[in-house]
Structure 1
Amino acid sequence: MLELRIALRFLWRNKVQSLLIILGIAIGIAVQVFVGSLITSLQDSLVDETVGSSAHVSLEPGDGQTAFAFTAENRATVSADPRVTALAPVQSLSALVAVGETSVPVAVKGGELTDLDSIYGLSEKLVDGEISLTGDRIAVGKELAEQNGLAPGDALRLVLADGSTVETVLEGVFDLGAQAANERSVFSGLELAGSALGRPAGQVSAVEVQIADVFTSPEVATDLGAAFPQLAVTEWQAKNSDLLTALQSQSTSSYMIQVFVIIAVMLGIASTLAISAVQKTRQIGILKALGMSDAKTGLVFLYQAGILGVIGTVLGIAVSLALIAVFSSVARSGDSGLFPIEPRLGFVLLSAGIGIAIALISAIIPFRKTARLDPIQVIQGG
């Protein structure tokens, strides 16, 4: 196509100008992809730290109750929801662990190991000993063990609120990834905790539920509340309003940064192409005098913008992915305090589309300028 060949010639004859536009687009797209992916990954990391290894939705006793019956039929009802990925009926109680002459307050949670693993991943997070949670066996958090000199095989006495005691044996030490949780968490079998509370089989303190999309917890909680009207249903977002506010603020800041970057890139491309249109006025006038239509002369600049947009966008995405790879490599290398960035294909493709679109939109000014150009006046004016 003649218009495309002319566009390529114009770009080649103004190599420095073309290179600057490409770099401008590349930097803009690189910033957009990197910042957007950074904020998204940060939010994912914060949410994962907050509720990644805990209940997203909880079924709890109704008013004035401390426990409720949870049958196999009830379990089937909850599991039938396709949004539910894991559930664990648990017994919860507060106790003191007698260590020598001192006592350490702990939160004991009893459940079947397979259920607890589906939510807390205890078997994967074991750092010492073993874990079965059968009989009188219990597992404790890493900080709780280290601060009190506990080791697998130790006999531990749990002192309950009513003064009664439960003799247990420490079999494993786990690391939940949060110091506060590791300092107070104790896991036992469901039967041991239920017996300590004097509850009959089938009675539980709560049913902890995890779902595939943590941000759908209000809808899931509403549906479970309708299925179990006698129970109180709570979800994590209602308990973490400050975190949600912070996430929304981060998203707003990210969008503002990306919008201003896009505007800056678009203005830069538009001004450069407008200058190019002025510089090429005589050539365009001659082409129009030879019979090239207004639309086709405008296409010359549209092709220029498209070529620059594609090259700049591809370069920008490559740069952003390289930066993300370096950042993530450092984050995974050790205790850097950083988190890996996981770019999302949809966002990268969206950014690519935006990069090409702003380049094409930027061609509107020179397109309109050349369309109004009078070839006779241009030639007569030299």
Structure 2
Amino acid sequence: MKLSLKIAIRFIKKSKVQSILITLGIAVGVAVQVFLGTLINNLGKDLIDKTLGGTSQVTIRSDNNNNPYFNETDVDIDMLKKLGVFSEISKSLDVNGLVKNGEGNEAVLLKGVDSLSAADIYGIKDKLVTGNVDVNNNEIIVGKTLLEKLKKSVGDDLILVMSNKKELTLKISGVVDYGVGELNKSWIVGSLSYIQEEVNRQGEISSIETKLDDNKIFDADVISDDLSKEIPKGLIINNWKSDNASLLSAISGQKSSSTTIQVFIIISVVIGIAGVLAISVMQKSKEIGILKAMGIRDKSAALIFLNQGFILGILGATIGLFLGLGLFKIFTAFVKNSDGTPIVSGGFNLTLIVFSFCIFVVASLIAATLAATRSLKLNPIEVIRNN
């Protein structure tokens, strides 16, 4: 084993140009794999964050269209927490109303939330433009577009007319830009207990909204099916996968295209390395023939090329990783949206990085194995006789 390794290192040093070309071939393959994989992963993650980050991913609601409300004790919140799949759980009471705006009125949705955990479901904390996200009693958070229409500012009062003609005087505590036009012009978020009391719905809610852990987002349908067995009759469960079939199709297509690209990159690198190492076997056939004549076994001769492929694979994969990550960082630094923000987030997926490194080292070994089989066929007498 040691002898094969020493000879492999000597072959690498002797054929510097060839070794450099193999290393660069592996490095380019790894760099492209890491760059594209990281880019596509981040695009997919950003797509999910933008589409689902500000919505409930699994929602429990009433199955009665005539009466969308149910008792908040019908579902055991502690049971939901014990499932260990939700990062956020919030009770919500949705009530339609009109906000007085001079001579006209603006149709709005008054949304009562039981705690600031709901702010994380909808991203209110991160999307707050001005004011305070904490709401108590008659304090509310309004969308940016609605505030502009009403020509109001933080600290002002607005009059909300309910369906029963009751008027509520609410104080604007904060302004949010949800990034979705419909939400910006219609959502008003307030305290659940205050709204329950004012609309005479004490102890009632219209939904229980949740946010899944990042590693459970694509299990939303399975979680919903399991959860449906635990909730009482009269309640139904919606999940983002059933409500966003087109988004799911786009994400699946994105993953499939990424996998296809990566497979072809790996195949091309394996073919390239195998071809160069096969030539190396022919170039070193005289040396291998002499070594066999001196008593080196076929297995040891094959190990020379396996060690050669392993060493070059490690070197190429290491260089490729740094090159790919560097290219991605440059991409995120210079390719930006019109508002100056990066077109994709700059996060790295450790699993992808480790997988790319390992798969190309293995690919190098496979290519080296193909070359090593040629060395097994070399007859030392024929090689020396034919020079």
Q: Tell me, yes or no, whether TM beats 0.5.
A: yes
2:269 corresponds to which of 265, 271, 278: 265
- Correspondence 1:169-248 to 2 at 5 A: 169-195=171-197, 197-199=199-201, 201-212=202-213, 213-230=216-233, 231-248=235-252
The alignment's C-alpha RMSD in Å is 2.2
1:365 matched residue in structure 2: 370
Structure-1 separation of matches of 2:162 and 2:372: 81
CA distance in 2, matches of 1:365, 1:68: 68
Q: Tell me the equivalent position of 1:46.
A: 47
Q: Distance in 2 between matches of 1:13 and 1:74?
A: 72
Comparing 58-67 and 120-129, the one that deviates more = 120-129
Question: Where does residue 62 of structure 1 map in the other structure?
Answer: 63
State the partner residue of 1:287.
Answer: 291
Contact preservation (8 Å) 1:87, 1:118: no
Give the Cα separation in 2 of the matches to 1:354 and 1:115. 41
Per the TM alignment, residue 298 of structure 1 is displaced from its structure 2 partner at its CA by 1.3
Q: Answer yes or no: is the 8 Å Cα contact 1:327–1:340 preserved in 2.
A: no
Q: What amino acid maps onto 2:47 in structure 1?
A: L
Counterparts of 2:334 and 2:95 in 1: how far apart (Å)? 41
After TM superposition, the score normalised by the length of structure 1 is 0.92
- The whole-number CA distance in structure 2 between the counterparts of 1:257 and 1:190 is 50
CA-CA distance at 1:132 after TM superposition? 3.6
Q: Which structure 1 segments of 5+ residues have no match?
A: none
Q: Residues of 1 paired with 2:123 and 2:377: CA distance?
A: 69
Please give the alpha-carbon distance, in whole angstroms, between the structure 2 residues aligned to 1:99 and 1:58: 33
SS at match of 2:116: helix
- Contact 2:137–2:191 at 8 Å: present in 1 too? yes
Supply the AA of the counterpart residue of 1:353: C
Moved more, 137-146 or 68-77: 68-77
Superposition map of 1:154-165 within 5 A: 154-161=156-163, 163-165=165-167
CA distance 1:279–1:132, change in 2 (3 Å): closer
Mapped to 2, the partners of 1:118 and 1:308 lie a distance apart of 48
What number of residue pairs does the alignment pair up? 381
Query: For the Cα contact (< 8 Å) 1:139–1:187, is it kept in 2?
Result: yes
Structure 1 residue 148: Cα displacement: 3.9
Alignment partner of 2:229: what SS? helix
SS of structure 2 residue aligned to 1:346: helix
Counterpart-to-counterpart distance in 1, 2:115 and 2:94: 15
Q: Which runs of 5+ in 2 are unaligned?
A: none
CA contact (8 A) 2:56 2:211 kept: yes
71-80 or 366-375, larger mean C-alpha shift? 71-80
Question: 2:380 & 2:151 partners in 1: Cα distance?
Answer: 91
Percent identity of paired positions between Structure 1 and Structure 2: 34
Confirm or deny: 8 A CA contact 1:112 1:133 kept in the other structure. no
Offset at 1:337? 5.0
Q: Which moved more, 1:2-11 or 1:122-131?
A: 122-131
Which deviates the most, 103-112 or 273-282? 103-112
Residues 331 and 340 in structure 1, CA contact (< 8 A), matched pair in contact too: no
Q: Which whole-Å CA distance do the structure 2 matches of 1:226 and 1:73 have between them?
A: 12
SS in structure 2 at match of 1:363: helix
Structure 1 residues 356 and 62, CA, compared in 2 at 3 Å: closer, same or farther?
A: same
Distance 2:282 2:253 in 1: 44
Structure 1: how far apart are the matches of 2:280 and 2:134? 74
The Cα offsets for residues 234-255 of structure 1, whole Å up to 9 and x where unpaired, read as 1111101111100000000000
| Residues 123 and 317 (structure 1), Cα distance of their counterparts in 2 relative to 1, 3 Å cut | closer
TM-score, length of structure 2 as denominator length? 0.91
Assess if the C-alpha contact under 8 Å between 1:152 and 1:171 holds in 2.
yes
Q: How does 1:135-154 map to 2 (within 5 A)?
A: 135-154=137-156
Cα shift at 1:28: 0.5
Q: CA deviation at 1:181?
A: 2.4
**Correspondence for 2:350:** 345
The aligned amino acid for 1:79 is K
CA distance 1:55–1:144, shift in 2 (3 Å): same
Q: Which amino acid aligns with 1:305?
A: G
